[in-house]
Every structure is written in C-alpha cells, then in structure tokens.
Chains A and B, each alone.
Chain A
C-alpha cells in the first residue's frame, strides 16, 4: 500500500506547557442548527429562538453539547493529526454559545505519560471562550504515536486503556 499523505505528531514532539494553535469561529444560527441536526438533536432550544428565550431564559438558540464536543475533536486533531486518538474528554459548560458570538478554542499540554500497555498519552486543558470570557472548560486525554510507525488506532481490548 502506498503511504497515505498526512502528518501527525508523535509524543516526543510534545512538551508540557505547549500551546495548541487557537481555533476561531464566528458562530451563526446556521452553524448552531447544522451542528444540532448533524448530532440528531431535535430539541427546540437549538433551532427555535422564541423557545430558547422564553423557556430556557437564554439570549438566543445555543450550541448543543455534542456540537461543542465536535468542535473539541476538530481542535485536537487539527493540531495532532489523524493518528491522534481521543481516549476521553470531560467538559463543563458555564454559559451558552449563541449566534453572533466569536468563539475561540485555546489549549495547553498539561502532561504526558506512557501507560502499562505502552500507549503514549497527552493530557490537555482546553478553553472555549467568547470575548475572553470562558464559556466551557475541557480536559482531554489523547493517545499519540510513540514514533512514526506507531498507530494508537491499532490498539484494542486490553491494549486500549483510556
């Protein structure tokens, strides 16, 4: 098989304190509705402004949880490449993301480790902010290749301990 054309970070290229390249997105009604429907979330607060304002008390429709997660996934793999395999992520939403917001994802490497199965991990802290106000705080544990011939996606069963 020919070598596929991509680049992906290996764990030796990562240092604690490294900053991930920020990702900026102008949030629109379309992007919120598209994200909600792509994740099969039909609830009206993600597409009906009147409902969101009157029932949820928010300023507009707001980004649903799986869509925020999808932005997180993109942010991580934009940086680390296709070999990066997310093992787990956690996040807390403090406030809503609404149309008209300019959201910025920023992140930092908190640590690296190699588990008993030899899988290399990077631990990330990631913030989603609007106008410098943090709206959502994420942490993520992401498997990265130990070297160019390693592939975290090949791990399964007991070899995958996220």
Chain B
C-alpha cells in the first residue's frame, strides 16, 4: 500500500483524544461594539436590537452581540508581536488534519446552542473536545474521515454562553492523492 492510500496513519493517537478536553482557547480581546456593527453590516442585518439603544436597553438590558458571531470572540489575531506562527481556531480540527496526514479539510456541518447573550466587555473562552472520528469515507472532494468537535464557551464570569459543534471532513483530494 502506498503512503497515499494508507488512511491508518495517526489513527490510534487521534482516537485517544476522544472525549477529552484538548484545547482551551481564551479570547485575545474583550468583546467590542465596533465588531458588532461590522458583523451586522456584512450581512445587512438591521435588527434594532443591535442598532437602537432603546431597543437594546428594553429587551436585553443593553448592547449584546449577534448570536452567530460567537466563534469570532475566541479566534486569534492574524498576527501579533512575538508570535511566530498563526494560531488556528478549531485547533483540534487542524491537529487531526496533521496527525491523520490529510492535507485538506472543510467544515461540513455546524450546530450551535446559545446560552447567555455575549456583551461588549466580555472575554470569551472555549474548550474543545473531539467527540467522534469516522471510518474512511469517499466524497466528491476526496477520500478521508469526518470528525465532530465541541467547543464549549463561557464568559469571564464562567457563565455558559454557547456550545458550537463542528463536523469537519479531512481528506486527500483526487488531484493531490
């Protein structure tokens, strides 16, 4: 069997990660209001909850972040002084790519459950856990494995703000395999 056809590389170690907390990611900045408006502008979201102070005060006791922006608060900066490599969000996803020798990966499914609203000034941290790893599958992108990763997110008061579950597919594409 050629190396390109061997899909057992790193499998034993990857399986040992199942159901264990693997990475904790702490947001590198406080949630800030400018980002909320940038995010709303990107999809032309005119919800008055995010644009009207009076509505925000009345419904949520002040400004909150769009719910679906949750993952932004623990994504690292693209660059910062003294850092040689770019940290990756969903580090477990990229660890799996590397250890399983699957050069490409995409997110295929996403599920998010929301807790307390995120507010400007919050600092979000997330803990990643690998929940499952599939048998070898073939898709139109290539041949590889699916995996499911949970990221449980809390604010600086240890209040649960959401859990994001991502299904990824790591693969060798037909053009590179």
Contact = CB atoms under 8 A, between A and B. Distances in A.
Contacts of A59: none
Interface string A59-84: 00000011101111110011000110
Interface in B37-86: 38-39, 41-49, 52, 54-55, 57-60, 66-69, 71-72, 75, 78, 86
27 contacts: A5-B48, A5-B52, A5-B55, A25-B44, A34-B41, A38-B35, A38-B69, A39-B39, A39-B69, A39-B71, A40-B89, A55-B104, A56-B106, A73-B43, A74-B43, A74-B47, A82-B49, A85-B114, A88-B113, A89-B68, A90-B110, A92-B108, A93-B108, A153-B60, A156-B116, A160-B115, A162-B115
Interface in B76-108: 78, 86, 89, 104, 106-108
B52 A6 contact: yes
Interface string A17-47: 0000000010000010011001111100000
Given A65-B110, A87-B114, A160-B115, A70 B39 contact: yes
Q: Which interface class (under 10, 10 to 19, 20 to 34, 35 or more) fits A?
A: 35 or more
Contacts of B89: 40-41
B94 to A, nearest CB: 10
B5 interface: no
B20 interface: no
A1 interface: yes
Interface of B: 35, 38-39, 41-49, 52, 54-55, 57-60, 66-69, 71-72, 75, 78, 86, 89, 104, 106-117, 141, 166, 173, 175
A38 B42 contact: yes
A1 B58 contact: yes
B39 A38 contact: yes
